[in-house]
Each structure stands twice: as structure tokens, then as C-alpha cells.
Structure 1
Amino acid sequence: MSNKPVTDLIHHAYLPPAGFDAPQPGIFKASTVIFANTAAMRARDWRNKNGYTYGLHGTPTTFMLEERIASLEGGKHCALVPSGLAAIANVAMALLKSGDEVLIPDNAYGPNKALADGELKAWGITHQLYDAMNPADLQARIGAKTKLVWLEAPGSVTMEFPDLPELTRICRDAGVLAALDNTWGAGLAFNPFDLGNGVAVDISVHALTKYPSGGGDVLMGAVVTRDDDLAERIKMTHMRVGLGVAANDAEAVLRSLPSMHLRYRAHDIAARELALWLQARPEIARVLHPALQGSQGHRHWQALCGANDLAAGLFSVVFDERYSAAQVDAFCDALTLFKLGYSWGGPMSLVVPYDIASMRSARLGTWTQKGTLVRFSIGLEAVQDLRADLEKAMGALA
């Protein structure tokens, strides 16, 4: 101990005894990491998790979350990033260069397409949109410049469920990497690295913002792979770009993971009940939910997810075309338990109206349904209360 209390506050000799254990892991926050000596400093390599070098490259908290997410997804390696979109960007920057091409489903998460049309285009990387419900269209578009194909199941907002094993097989046979946005499946509905008959995606990205967090209060994403070489490329880009997540956010996700399966199933059960109820309403022309008979791609969902019988808590409805967009907006505004807000997977039910025609390629013609679409994310409220809220808001359509 020194003679100056201010020094002792920084360099105090006390260390807590080893051996403490509890149900929740500890939180380790750091930018600077302390080394015992110069030999230890030179020997450590954060890439294989044999030690710690700098907070941006991992702490015990983030390493633990990476390992658990990799196991959840059925993968081997995981990199944590600040959001689901950052996970998509990490993959693109790691695997694509000027002159390459990436193929994206027309019904993919919109910011993925915006990234391709913005930064990737500026870097000399081209892209094409393809019809995910038509494997032949994907096969026809893969060319010599194609280096990466994005997959998504189900499609964003319109909820079509593709033949994911067949799309992945096409990529494999063409020698092109397949990356899946697995946020909806969340590692629970199906295993992206075991789609049957030896078919597996190369990379799975996951917005941990949604079901793994479960609270609507954390932004985080993950990139998962089983391939050592791909993991190295992703991690090196991750390091060079300076991607990282806060320890408190990682701890929040770690705390929520044990209840994830229970929450996911509760969201799913409530969503199916409300989707079936809305299907019988005269105001609704169509309900879009992959687990419902008649929904586009239902048999593909059944083949891939039927064994687990899981389908998340999302669905969309198309209102009868006699209702204008303004009337549908009035319906959304009249809801009280359902809040207007983006994202999903949290405890609160959400609703968003969409202009789908503006979000889909007219050239591909993948969306022809008339009427305004509204997407619902079902939370953890009592289903009876949510149904009453929906029924009351229908009066605003008049």
C-alpha cells in the first residue's frame, strides 16, 4: 500500500477469493486487459480464445455468450456484433470484394438489400434479387461472379417459407457460399447446419435483438459458422472494422437465454391462435403465417420445422381491398395493447402497416396481392386481451 489513498484506489492489493459460482455468469467489462508479463502479452491470441488481449476482442462474458450462441445454432464459431444488420455487413465485408456478386431474395430483410444497393455497390460489388419461392430462378442467376447467396426463412413481412434445403443444395452444387438470416428460426425451429440429407448452410446470422434478448432493450447480432476458414475471415474483418458489444448487453442476453425456448413457444402458441381467429374475420382477405394451411410455403415449413412444431410469434394479414390504406392506418392507431413499433421478440405486442408493393421488385412480380398488409408481432400478454384489442380496433375501419 502506498502513502497516497488515490493511488491505492487504483492499485489496491486486495483480490476476491477464487471459487465463487452462481446461476448467472459474472460481468467482465474492459477496454484494457492486464498482462502478467511481456511474454504473456506476446503469446496471447484472442482468435482461438486461449486468452484476452483487448476488450474489443472479447472478455469472459462475451466469449461465454459466443459459445452458447454457437451451440444454440448448431455451429462451431460465433462472432458477436452490435446488431443483426451489423452481422449481415460483417459477412459481406469479409467474403466479398470488388467484381464479386451477391444474390439476395426479393423478400429479404430490407436493410440487407439497402446495404447491397449502397455501400456494396459503391465498392464495386454487384447484386441481383431472386425469387426465393422459385429455386430455378436462383439456379439461373448464379454466375461466375457470384460468391455469396443470402437465404431467409420465412420471407420478411410477407412470411413465405422457401424450400430452404433445395436453395442451399443449389448453392453447394454451384460452389457458392450460402448465408442464412436465421433470426426467425432463432436456432429453435430448425438447425441451419443440418437441413437434412447432408445439406447445411455455410453461415447463419442471427439478430440477438429479438428472441435471445427477449426484452426489447438490447441491440446485438451474431455470425455463426462451422467452417474454420470462414470463421477466420469473419473474425479478422470483425477485428479490422472494430466491431464489438458491451459486456452489460452480453450479460442481459446470457440472462435471457435459459427462458428463450419457453418464451418462443409462448409467442408461437398465441400467434397461431390469433392468426386463426383473424382468418375467419370478414375484414381480412388473407393471413400470412407459415404454420397455417394455405400459406405460401406451408409444406416447406412442415418439412423443416414440423418435427419441432415451432413457428415464432410473427404473422401478417392482408386487409380486404375495400379498405383504403388510410382506414387500415386508423385500425392500427386504434389499437391500445398493440404498440406501433419495429422489431419483435419482446414481451409487448407490436403492429406495423407496410406498403409491400414498394418493397418488392416489380420485375420479379413476387407480390401481387391487393389490399394493405399489416404485420403483427405477438408478445406475452393474455391472448384474450389481445383479441379484444383487435376486435375493438376493427371498428375504426368503418
Structure 2
Amino acid sequence: MRYLQVEKDVRDTETLLCRLGRAPAEHAGMVNVPIYRGSTIISETLEEWDIRNKDYPSYGRFGTPLSRALETAICKLEGGYRSILFPSGQSACSHSLLACLKAGDSVLISDGVYSPVRAFADNVLARLQIKAEYFCSTKPSELAAKISAKTRAVYLESPSSMTFEVQDVPALAAIAHLSDALVIMDNTWATPLYFRPFEHGVDISIQAATKYIVGHSDAFLGVATANEAAWHALKSTAQHFGEIGAPDDIYLALRGIRTLGLRMRRHWENGLVLAQNLQTHPAVDRVLHPALPNDPGHVIWKRDFLGASGLFGVVLKPMSPPQLSVLFNSLRLFGIGLSWGGYESLALLVEPPKRMEGSLPFPGPLLRIHAGMESPTELIADLHSALNAACEVADDTIVPPETSELVSQCQIVS
């Protein structure tokens, strides 16, 4: 049985997004792979059972034509050896770590990772007698100083969660590999379209497919993709824990891949326009977005990344709790909520993440903005109006720059 057919001469990513994971001839001519719900998979003969048990799913927990289609599609986009699905992004992160570590090992984690990953390392890994240490994500020399013979994995997230520092992944991976440590990276922000992890030394790449791959805020799913060296440990760990994705969520993720290129282009454009614009507002201290030319990580972002997503941070100047209430309660187009990656714009007040060296030197509150797919002109007007209301300034006093001029500066790469 073939789970995937793609012409060998297809090279363009937009065409691949429309083709990957599809095999109409195997599904009564259906354009999309149907939803498969099932535990038992029947074989007609003992010989068929022997073949299925070796090479194909013999039990629903081990995969279905639908899950294999999505895994194959994401693996092709990421550039890895094989991919495996998990019920959430956090599950993919946790099990990728467990696949590489055992009692007595240590793991070095970049200081700006997603906070639930940090909590997992500090609590669950600690109970398993696995030592988690942290290093400054923008200082490869610090990783080199801390790595040891016991370090079996280095965990990265670039850009960093909440504060969006870009890491020199090739340099960090080279240091890790000198000590025979595997490199795990959360690649959700850029998606496989805008960062190619295996071309930069990563061994296991993680996607919280809940975000941009699903793209509509209505499903949970995680994916981990490994190179050949890391694949067996990743696969066996997932199967030992009985981790699978829900059929309906897998279907939504595979459907989301079809429009991923179009959506990411829009998120990139809207995010950069908003980031550029917010820099001009007097209530804003700085904007944390690696695609901005004045961002500290811009040079590495431009070297290693092929694009940007719609997620970035905004550091405000000092603002009182009542002012923050006015700001958020004045927003019309930005929802207040967790997660991101859907078509809708979101704004969230977040605690500045704690780092090894202590609190980050932010003068005021930190906002996380997700630029959705709405009109950038209306999004800019909404944010400006809310900031003006918080500062008790009339809307016509602080006027945002022309959106058309900002859009022309986005430099979208095809």
C-alpha cells in the first residue's frame, strides 16, 4: 500500500503543500484523505498479517493512512527522516526530551524556552534523576562552557518564547555534536516553511501543529521529526507512552497544510507591519521582532530564516494596572487568549520570563501580539486607539504612519 504519491519533479513549496499526503487512487478518488477511526485492523490472510505487522500499521495506535499522510507531509517539509504525531505540542516537546535522556544524564536548555517545557524539565526530569541546566540562548560560548560528558541533549527554541531572541542554531548544534549530544529544537514560530532545522544541525524538530499548521484555533496536535540517528528512540518512546493524535485533529492539520503558505505570508506581512508601526507610538518602549532591522537578532534571522510569523512582543513604557485594563478593554479586533497561530489576532499581557541572570530589564509591561489575517490598516488603528485610550490621548493626536508605506517595506521572500 502506498500512503503518498508526489511527482519527483515537484520542487516548489506551494505546489508541495497542495500535493503532499494525497493519494486519491487509494481513497476512492477522494481529494482529501478521509478520517480513519479504528483500533483493530483486519488482515485477510496470515501472510498479509505478517507483512502488515512488519511494514504497515497493524493497530490503530500505531498509525492510520490519515496519520501517515500527515507525518509524511510534515517530514518532507521539515527535511527530516521520519515524523511522528502527538496529541499536543507540549507532548511532542516532553517526549522528545524523554527519547534522548535517561537517569544520570543532563540536558542543557536555552534560557528562553516555552515555560511549560521549563516546568517539565525542572519537575518531571528532576524526578527521573535527569539534570536540567540552562544557558543564555544568545551566547554559544556559555553552552560550550557548560556542556559535559553527561550532556545527552541540547534543547533550543528560536526565536525564544515571549522575548524572541534569535539563536545561532548552527553554532550551538556544532558545540552539542562535539560532545555527542542530540539537538532538539522547537520550530513552531517559523514553521517548516521559514526555517529548515535539519540544514542547521538539528536532530529532532518539533512543531506545535495546534498553531500555524492547523491554523484555525480548533484542534490540538504536536509533531516531532527526527533524523535517522534519532528516529528509533523517538518512535519507541512515543509508542511506549501510547501517544497518538485524534483522527479529527489530524484531518484538520492535513487540511491546514494546503493553505499554510498563503496564511504564513499574510501573518508575516501583518506582523511586520504592526511591529514597525508600534515602534512609533510614544507608549511603546521597544518591539521584540527579529525581522526588524534594529532587532539584536536580525542578522542571524536574515542569515538562517526564510521568513517570519505573526507572533512578536511589545515592551510598554511604565503603565499602571488601570491603564492596562483600559488598553485591553478598548481593543475591538484583538482577542485576549492563550495559544496563537489561528487566523484571528490576539493580544496577551504576559509576565516577563525569569532568566538565570534574573528579571529582564523591561521598564514596563510585556505584551505578546499575534497578528492574524485581518486588514492591517484596521489592526493598526485598533492598537493605536487602545494605546491612546490607555494614555488618555485623543485618537487624532497620535496618528499611525501610512500602512501602504509599511507594507511595501516588508520584503516578503517568495
The verdict on a shared fold, with TM-score over 0.5 as the criterion, is yes
CA distance in structure 2 between the partners assigned to 1:210 and 1:166 by the alignment: 28
CA distance in structure 2 between the partners assigned to 1:271 and 1:149 by the alignment: 30
More deviation, 374-383/166-175: 166-175
Shift in Å, 1:284: 0.3
Structure 2 residue identity aligned to 1:119: V
Structure 2: give runs of 5+ residues left out of the alignment: 1-24, 393-414
Change over 3 Å in CA distance of 1:18–1:271 after alignment to 2: closer
CA distance in structure 2 between the partners assigned to 1:137 and 1:41 by the alignment: 53
CA distance in structure 1 between the partners assigned to 2:26 and 2:193 by the alignment: 36
Is 1:183 equivalent to 2:215 in the alignment?
no
The residue aligned with 2:4 is none
CA distance in structure 1 between the partners assigned to 2:179 and 2:325 by the alignment: 45
The residue aligned with 1:350 is 346
Q: Is contact 1:130–1:364 with CA below 8 Å preserved after alignment?
A: no
The residue aligned with 1:284 is 284
Shift in Å, 1:18: 7.2
1:288-316: CA deviations, max 9, x gaps?
A: 100002212111101112xx3x1110111
The residue aligned with 1:41 is 49
Is 1:331 equivalent to 2:324 in the alignment?
no
Among residues 305, 316, 330, which one is paired with 2:313 in the alignment? 316
1:340 is paired with a residue whose SS is coil
Among residues 11, 18, 24, which one is paired with 2:32 in the alignment? 24
Shift in Å, 1:369: 2.3
1:337 is paired with a residue whose SS is coil
Shift in Å, 1:397: 3.7
CA distance in structure 2 between the partners assigned to 1:19 and 1:222 by the alignment: 24
Change over 3 Å in CA distance of 1:142–1:385 after alignment to 2: same
CA distance in structure 2 between the partners assigned to 1:175 and 1:289 by the alignment: 33
More deviation, 211-220/363-372: 363-372
CA distance in structure 2 between the partners assigned to 1:342 and 1:293 by the alignment: 28
Shift in Å, 1:205: 0.7
The residue aligned with 1:393 is 386
The residue aligned with 1:367 is 360
Shift in Å, 1:320: 0.9
CA distance in structure 2 between the partners assigned to 1:162 and 1:139 by the alignment: 14
Change over 3 Å in CA distance of 1:377–1:94 after alignment to 2: same
The residue aligned with 1:223 is 224
Structure 2 residue identity aligned to 1:299: V
Counterpart mapping for 1:58-97 below 5 A: 58-97=63-102
Shift in Å, 1:364: 2.4
Shift in Å, 1:329: 4.0
Structure 2 residue identity aligned to 1:389: D
Shift in Å, 1:337: 1.0
2:194 is paired with a residue whose SS is coil
CA distance in structure 1 between the partners assigned to 2:354 and 2:294 by the alignment: 21
2:113 is paired with a residue whose SS is coil
The residue aligned with 1:5 is none
CA distance in structure 2 between the partners assigned to 1:84 and 1:33 by the alignment: 28
Structure 2 residue identity aligned to 1:22: M
2:197 is paired with a residue whose SS is coil
Among residues 110, 115, 119, which one is paired with 2:115 in the alignment? 110
Q: Is contact 1:328–1:397 with CA below 8 Å preserved after alignment?
A: no
Change over 3 Å in CA distance of 1:241–1:148 after alignment to 2: same
Q: Is contact 1:131–1:366 with CA below 8 Å preserved after alignment?
A: no
Q: Is contact 1:163–1:297 with CA below 8 Å preserved after alignment?
A: no
CA distance in structure 2 between the partners assigned to 1:233 and 1:183 by the alignment: 22
Structure 2 residue identity aligned to 1:354: V
Root-mean-square deviation (Å): 1.6
Change over 3 Å in CA distance of 1:325–1:108 after alignment to 2: farther
CA distance in structure 1 between the partners assigned to 2:219 and 2:111 by the alignment: 28
Shift in Å, 1:393: 1.0
CA distance in structure 1 between the partners assigned to 2:369 and 2:162 by the alignment: 9
TM-score by length of 2: 0.85
Is 1:145 equivalent to 2:153 in the alignment?
no
CA distance in structure 2 between the partners assigned to 1:129 and 1:178 by the alignment: 14
Change over 3 Å in CA distance of 1:390–1:95 after alignment to 2: same
Shift in Å, 1:365: 4.3
CA distance in structure 1 between the partners assigned to 2:320 and 2:160 by the alignment: 25
Is 1:57 equivalent to 2:62 in the alignment?
yes
The residue aligned with 2:209 is 208
2:192 is paired with a residue whose SS is coil
Change over 3 Å in CA distance of 1:180–1:19 after alignment to 2: closer
Shift in Å, 1:326: 4.4
Q: Is contact 1:45–1:51 with CA below 8 Å preserved after alignment?
A: yes
Structure 1: give runs of 5+ residues left out of the alignment: 1-16
Counterpart mapping for 1:126-165 below 5 A: 126-165=131-170
The residue aligned with 2:299 is 299
Structure 1 residue identity aligned to 2:354: R
Structure 2 residue identity aligned to 1:30: G
CA distance in structure 2 between the partners assigned to 1:389 and 1:342 by the alignment: 20
CA distance in structure 2 between the partners assigned to 1:177 and 1:366 by the alignment: 29
CA distance in structure 2 between the partners assigned to 1:392 and 1:366 by the alignment: 30
The residue aligned with 1:260 is 260
CA distance in structure 2 between the partners assigned to 1:329 and 1:373 by the alignment: 14
Q: How many residues align?
A: 367
The residue aligned with 2:14 is none
CA distance in structure 2 between the partners assigned to 1:381 and 1:72 by the alignment: 27
TM-score by length of 1: 0.89
Shift in Å, 1:141: 0.9
Shift in Å, 1:174: 2.1
CA distance in structure 2 between the partners assigned to 1:294 and 1:211 by the alignment: 26
Shift in Å, 1:28: 1.7
Q: Is contact 1:98–1:125 with CA below 8 Å preserved after alignment?
A: yes
CA distance in structure 2 between the partners assigned to 1:145 and 1:18 by the alignment: 48
Q: Is contact 1:290–1:298 with CA below 8 Å preserved after alignment?
A: yes
Q: Percent identity?
A: 36
